[in-house]
Amino acid sequence: MALLTLKDIGKIYVSEGNATVGIRGVNLSFDKGEFVAITGKSGSGKSTLLNVISGMDSYEEGELYIEDQPTSHYLQPEWEEYRKKYISFIFQDYNIIDSFTVLQNVELALMNIDDKKVRRARALELIDRVGLSPFVKQKGSKLSGGQKQRTVIARALAKDSPIILADEPTGNLDSATSKEIIELLREVSKDKLLIVVTHNFEQVEDYATRHIRIFDGAVESDHVMKHTETPSGDGKEQSAKTDKKDKKKEKIRNIKNGITLGRTIFTSKPKLSVFLCFLMIIGTLGIFMITTFCGDATDMFDKHYMFSHIDGRVVVVKQNGEAITDAELSALAEKSGAKSTIHYDLLLDESYGSVQYYDESKREYENIDVQCAYNENFGDGIVGSYPTEANEVFLYLPIAYQPVFGKDSIITDKISFKSLQLKVTGVKYYYDNNIRGKMVFTEEGFRVATAVDYLSNNYTTLSVAVISKDSGYTMHFDYGNYFITSFNVENGKIYIFDESFREYVRTQEEELSIQLSFNTSKYKDDYYGGYTTVDFLKTFTGDILTDTYPDVSSETNGMYVKNVAVHPSVIVEVAEDIMKQCYSQASLFFENDKAAHNAISALRDEGYVAVTSDTTCSQDPLDAILTIIQSLFMGILWILAILFLAFFINLCSSRVLGAFKSDMAIMRSMGIPVKVVRIGMYVRMLISLVPAFITVIAVAILIFTTPTFNKFFVYLYPWQYAVIFVGMIILTARITHKQIRKLFGESVKKSLKGGAAE
Ligand code: ADP
Ligand code: MG
């Protein structure tokens, strides 16, 4: 049985309508142990013959038998398998991977050895055998021609294939080196079939066992020069078909080899890799920005609750729109099983910059958008303590406010809410852009704040009448809405800052009494959203103090001209007196939204209009559809942005690809499976993703640890970080996929059509 038989092989090149004969009617048979020298004029078809034998070029006529098996029906994967199993190719132009070291080049051919140590040992042994031991760590680009060709020979040996093909292996070497290389080739391939194409027959004369002359694509002569010892043992059992188990093993091996290859490619071109990493970092920051934008943009379409959504909250209104009485509310709570109630719940739905603090560094007042709450507990990790007095509050704020309110102890303890001065007793910070902060009062404090809020929302003016007790003469002072509520004012006392008022009081000889009138124009901003005006007058009689000022901090006093200060109890009385008559809604609280939903029908049975706060935004099905479309749109936008980024990065990195093209052809000609190269490329890209990955983590840490950073870079949810990582992977996959398609689209065809041997 011959190792390799060519029967009537013909190869015709067709290009631009011209057919060129590569080889024709070639009948040859080769065995192990032969050293075949092929000579012939340039263009006679020597390279074509080798390419056909190597399976890198197809043939149109005849049949090529390998170990007596025909090959004409082979498709690309079978040829790949064929090359992997039988062929080592040595080219004139060396074809080693310049960026790899000698060791890496040789190890590339030893991929079928799973054990890394064994692989390395074998590679070193082979390198020693071709006399390159001192250059193990030398890069391919720094080797001389002879050294390169030795590396190629070591690599050919590493494959341990039965056939070694060499196309003018010494064509670029001086004659002394050429001799050495031929000698080495012969020495290392005694038990193999070695076919060498050469211009210079003299060089091989002493070693060749057979000489074939090619002329015009056909065999002109075929001389056996020496006796050929055919080594014993045949490769029949080797060609036994691989069973399933081996296939699985092969798969694992391909993956492992791909990973190793990817790492080698990455480290062997440090400059390119740095460039790639840089691109990836840019890309990742791009994704970060896009994700941030999409997150923000989604907020634009956020649900607009008619009422603040509070888990378990139900808002009730009487069918006829009349005000609910306290008695009715408590009866309703009992019947429906509500946990608690708030009669005057308007403050729950306030939604603008409510807290005001004085920023020392900017020397101006800053507002924070918070939601008012009471008696709420935030668990561990709080700074300070919870409030116990009506004028104390606890703040639940975004982490960006940590520098303002303190990390370990409270820095700013004075804030104001609608001219109501409050003391901060505790703070807790959170990382979230999508929720609103909270200001938590005691129950009494909440009541006061509600009253202040109510009066300030429903334009309330205050006037003071000074009545002379004897004559009954009344002097009016109108102060508009320039009054403040302060816990520092003694209960039952009124302070008037206005100098003209003080002057008037001082100069009166009669005994005076004072009357305070609050006048409110109120419009109903309840469930029905109607607008009605109610005029309301409330009078107080009390002592005036002209000799002292209460401790009302200049912060509130300084900004507007405030003329009158009253104790909160006055305001509560005024406000609740109005609300008692006009405020037509109330809130009931249940365990959670589910319990709230369950209670709705009972409340309606009682004759109330009742809505849970979670449904007050999505009752319209069109709205719900719109929200879905919007988030879908955002998702698509996100993906498009990523693909665009991938496209951009791909453009930038096409140089990386170009540099890899020839290496790729070499690997392919060595019979390294496409799969391995593919995995290698993916791995290389994934590695270059690592710095980008680290960048994102660093940014995340920065955002989490540096509160002020949060003002510029929004806090993202963990799932959004997950989205960024997914984006990075899509990006990488996309770029790699495109690169691979480009590479394989060109160079596979090229190498299969003999391009690799050009
Ligand atoms: P040699 O290696 O002996 O110099 P080749 O095998 O390279 O000769 O070429 C044999 C013939 O085939 C030449 O006429 C050459 O022009 C032609 N040929 C080789 N490769 C191609 C190709 N890829 N496309 C078209 N013609 C080709
Ligand atoms: Mg040639």
Q: State the pLDDT confidence band at 276, using cuts at 50, 70 and 90.
A: confident
Per-residue pLDDT at 634: 83
**Is there a domain that residue 603 lies in?**
yes
CA–centroid distance, residue 274 to ligand 2 (Å): 39
The residue nearest atom 5 of ligand 1, judged by CA position, is 45
Is residue 134 within 6 Å of ligand 1 at its C-beta? no
CATH number, domain at 156?
3.40.50.300
Poorest-pLDDT segment among 233-242, 576-585, 711-720: 233-242
Same domain, 54 and 153: yes
Same domain, 318 and 463: no
Per-residue pLDDT at 560: 46
**Is there a domain that residue 308 lies in?**
no
SS3 59: coil
Q: Is 20 a residue whose pLDDT tops 50?
A: yes
Q: State the pLDDT confidence band at 701, using cuts at 50, 70 and 90.
A: confident
User: Which atom in ligand 1 lies closest to the alpha carbon of residue 48?
Assistant: 6
Is residue 554 within 6 Å of ligand 1 at its C-beta? no
Q: Which of 529, 593, 617 is nearest to 304 (CA)?
A: 617
Q: Which ligand is nearest to the CA of 91?
A: 2
Which residue reads 């299969």 in tokens? 752
Per-residue pLDDT at 448: 93
Same domain, 199 and 80: yes
Same domain, 92 and 161: yes
Same domain, 234 and 256: no
Say if CB 37 and CB 210 are below 8 A apart. yes
Which of 205-209, 237-241, 734-738 is predicted most confidently? 205-209
Same domain, 266 and 372: no
**Is there a domain that residue 336 lies in?**
yes
Is residue 51 within 6 Å of ligand 1 at its C-beta? no
Look up residue 518 and give its DSSP letter: E
The residue nearest atom 17 of ligand 1, judged by CA position, is 22
Poorest-pLDDT segment among 442-446, 688-692, 744-748: 744-748
Give the side-chain half-sphere CA count within 13 A for 180.
14
Same domain, 517 and 595: no
Residue 495 lies in domain: 458-582
Look up residue 163 and give its DSSP letter: E
> Model confidence over 728-737: pLDDT tens digits?
888 888 888 8
Q: Which two tokens stand for residue 704?
A: 């989490």
Per-residue pLDDT at 305: 67
Q: How far apart are CA 387 and CA 407, in angstroms?
A: 18
DSSP string, 137-185: T-BGGGS-HHHHHHHHHHHHHHHT-SEEEEESTTTTS-HHHHHHHHHHH
**Is there a domain that residue 306 lies in?**
no
Q: How far apart are CA 171 and CA 184, in angstroms?
A: 16
The residue nearest atom 26 of ligand 1, judged by CA position, is 13
Q: Say what the pTM is.
A: 0.64
Same domain, 189 and 61: yes
Q: How far apart are CA 111 and CA 99, in angstroms?
A: 18
CA–centroid distance, residue 516 to ligand 1 (Å): 111
Q: Which ligand is nearest to the CA of 23?
A: 1
**Is there a domain that residue 362 lies in?**
yes
The residue nearest atom 16 of ligand 1, judged by CA position, is 43
Per-residue pLDDT at 505: 81
**Is there a domain that residue 757 lies in?**
no
Q: Is 595 a residue whose pLDDT tops 50?
A: yes
Which of 1-15, 613-627, 659-673 is predicted most confidently? 1-15
Is residue 39 within 6 Å of ligand 1 at its C-beta? no
Q: Is 672 a residue whose pLDDT tops 90?
A: no
Query: Which of these three, 559, 582, 605, is where a domain ends?
Result: 582
Is residue 388 within 6 Å of ligand 1 at its C-beta? no
Say if CB 487 and CB 569 are below 8 A apart. no
Query: Which of these three, 244, 259, 276, is where a domain ends?
Result: 244
Q: Which ligand is nearest to the CA of 17?
A: 1
CA–centroid distance, residue 741 to ligand 1 (Å): 27
Q: State the pLDDT confidence band at 64, using cuts at 50, 70 and 90.
A: very high
Query: Which of these three, 422, 446, 470, is where a domain ends?
Result: 446
Look up residue 110 and give its DSSP letter: T
Say if CB 319 and CB 609 are below 8 A apart. yes
> Model confidence over 617-646: pLDDT tens digits?
655 677 677 778 888 888 888 888 888 888
How much is the average pLDDT of 714-725? 83
Per-residue pLDDT at 755: 38
CA–centroid distance, residue 43 to ligand 1 (Å): 6
Same domain, 164 and 18: yes
Q: What percent of the chain has pLDDT over 70?
A: 86
Q: State the pLDDT confidence band at 584, using cuts at 50, 70 and 90.
A: confident
Q: Is 559 a residue whose pLDDT tops 50?
A: no
Q: Is 708 a residue whose pLDDT tops 60?
A: yes
Same domain, 475 and 405: no
Mean pLDDT across the chain: 82
Q: Which of 20, 57, 213 has most ligand 1 atoms within 8 Å of CB, for mutation?
A: 20
Q: State the pLDDT confidence band at 30, using cuts at 50, 70 and 90.
A: very high
The residue nearest atom 14 of ligand 1, judged by CA position, is 43
Same domain, 658 and 511: no
Look up residue 348 and give its DSSP letter: G
> Model confidence over 524-554: pLDDT tens digits?
554 455 555 555 566 666 555 555 555 554 4
Q: Which of 47, 52, 59, 201 has most ligand 1 atoms within 8 Å of CB, for mutation?
A: 47
Same domain, 601 and 702: no
**Is there a domain that residue 141 lies in?**
yes
> Model confidence over 37-54: pLDDT tens digits?
999 999 999 999 999 999
Is residue 20 within 6 Å of ligand 1 at its C-beta? yes
Per-residue pLDDT at 303: 59
> Model confidence over 138-160: pLDDT tens digits?
999 899 888 998 898 888 888 88
Q: How far apart are CA 322 and CA 261, in angstroms?
A: 79
CA–centroid distance, residue 713 to ligand 2 (Å): 62
Return phi, psi of residue 349, to 5°: -105, 10
Q: Which two tokens stand for residue 721?
A: 């970080």
How much is the average pLDDT of 370-377? 87
Is residue 44 within 6 Å of ligand 1 at its C-beta? yes
How much is the average pLDDT of 400-415? 88
- Mark the residues whose beta carbon lies below 5 A from ion ligand 2: 47
Angle in degrees, CA 537, 539, 545, rounded to 5: 140
Per-residue pLDDT at 221: 92
Cα-to-chain-centroid distance, residue 391: 45
Count of domains forming the chain = 5
Per-residue pLDDT at 417: 86
> Model confidence over 95-148: pLDDT tens digits?
788 889 999 999 988 888 888 899 999 999 989 988 899 999 999 989 988 899
Is residue 15 within 6 Å of ligand 1 at its C-beta? yes
Q: State the pLDDT confidence band at 239, using cuts at 50, 70 and 90.
A: very low
User: Which atom in ligand 1 lies closest to the alpha carbon of residue 754?
Assistant: 23
User: Which atom in ligand 1 lies closest to the alpha carbon of residue 49?
Assistant: 6
**Is there a domain that residue 756 lies in?**
no
Per-residue pLDDT at 227: 46
Q: Is 236 a residue whose pLDDT tops 80?
A: no
Per-residue pLDDT at 545: 54
